[in-house]
C-alpha cells in the first residue's frame, strides 16, 4: 500500500513529492516511512505530517517516521531509487545494529484503576526501566506518555479493574503494553493551550509535543470484549 499513502500525502498543500518505503521492524515485521520533499519556502514537522494522516487513513498505514529531503536519489534517466531511500532510513534509525540487540528485561506493574497510586509509575520507570539501560530521551518521553495515559484513564473512569503495564526494553527503544478491563481510551488526545496564560509554558508545551500520541512513535490499540489493550512504541529521535 505505499502508493496509496503517497497519493494521499500528495494532497497536502505543502508537499511537492513523497516516497514511501518499507523498513524492517522487530515488533511489527515491517513498518513504512515517508521521505517528503516540500514545496519551496514551506516547512513541516513530523507531528504535523502525522496529524494530516491521523483521521483520514487507516492507522496502521500512517508512516512511522517522516524524513524531509530536498531531493531523492535517482538514476541518470530520472527514476527514483527507492532502495537507496530504504538504506538511508535503516541507517538513520540505527536498525543496522538491532540484529544484535536482545531484550534486556520485561516487567509488570499493576496500577489502581481509581488513579490513587500515580507515583508507582515514576518509581517503576526509574527503579526498574532506567537501570536496565535505555536512551534518556526515549525514557523521558515514555515516562511522560505513561503518566499522561494513566491520568486520563483514571480521570475518565474507563478502567474497571487494575491497569497492567508491561515493558520490553532495549538500549534505544521501549515497547510499552497496557491492558485493563474497561473501555478503550479514544485518540487523539491533544492538550489544549487555550487555558494557559504563561507564554513560556505554552512554548514548552508546543515544543515538547506533550500529548500521548505525539510522545509516541507508534500506537496500536486493540478492543476485546470488556477489555482494552494498547501498545506504545518509543525509539530514538536523533534523526529529527
Q: What is the pLDDT of residues 123-150, one digit of tens each?
A: 988 888 888 778 888 999 999 899 888 9
pLDDT tens, residue by residue, 23-69: 877 656 778 899 999 999 999 988 788 878 876 787 778 888 899 99
pLDDT tens, residue by residue, 173-210: 888 889 899 988 877 665 555 555 666 655 555 444 45
Give this prediction's pTM.
0.59
Q: Where does residue 198 rank: exposed (0-12), middle (13-18), buried (19+ CB within 10 A)?
A: exposed
Mean pLDDT of 82-109: 72
Domains of the chain: 2-98 (3.30.300.30), 101-235 (3.30.565.10)
Q: Which three cell numbers stand for residue 106?
A: 520485561
Q: Which residue has the cell 478502567?
A: 159
pLDDT of 240 strictly over 50 = no
Q: What's the confidence (pLDDT) of residue 56?
A: 77
Q: Are 37 and 72 in contact (CB under 8 A)?
A: yes
Amino acid at each position: 500500500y505505499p502508493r496509496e499513502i503517497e497519493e494521499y500525502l500528495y494532497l497536502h498543500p505543502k508537499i511537492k513529492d513523497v516516497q514511501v518505503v518499507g523498513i524492517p521492524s522487530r515488533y511489527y515485521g515491517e513498518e513504512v516511512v515517508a521521505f517528503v520533499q516540500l514545496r519551496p519556502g514551506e516547512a513541516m514537522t513530523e507531528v504535523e505530517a502525522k496529524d494530516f494522516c491521523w483521521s483520514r487513513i487507516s492507522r496502521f498505514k500512517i508512516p512511522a517516521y517522516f524524513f524531509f529531503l530536498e531531493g531523492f536519489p535517482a538514476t541518470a534517466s530520472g527514476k527514483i531509487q527507492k532502495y537507496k531511500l530504504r538504506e538511508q532510513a535503516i541507517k538513520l534509525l540505527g536498525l543496522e545494529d538491532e540484529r544484535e540487540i536482545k531484550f534486556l528485561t520485561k516487567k509488570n506493574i499493576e496500577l489502581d484503576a481509581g488513579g490513587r497510586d500515580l507515583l508507582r509509575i515514576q518509581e517503576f520507570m526509574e527503579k526498574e526501566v532506567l537501570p536496565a539501560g535505555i536512551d534518556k530521551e526515549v525514557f523521558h518521553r515514555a515516562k511522560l506518555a505513561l503518566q499522561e495515559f494513566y491520568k486520563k484513564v483514571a480521570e475518565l473512569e474507563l478502567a474497571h479493574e487494575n491497569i497492567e503495564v508491561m515493558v520490553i526494553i532495549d538500549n534505544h527503544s521501549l515497547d510499552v503494553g497496557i491492558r485493563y478491563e474497561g473501555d478503550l481510551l479514544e485518540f487523539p488526545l491533544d492538550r489544549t493551550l487555550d487555558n494557559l496564560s504563561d507564554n513560556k509554558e505554552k512554548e514548552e508545551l508546543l515544543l515538547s509535543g506533550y500529548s500521548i500520541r505525539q510522545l509516541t512513535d507508534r500506537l496500536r490499540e486493540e478492543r476485546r470484549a470488556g477489555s482494552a489493550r494498547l501498545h506504545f512504541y518509543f525509539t530514538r529521535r536523533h534523526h529529527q
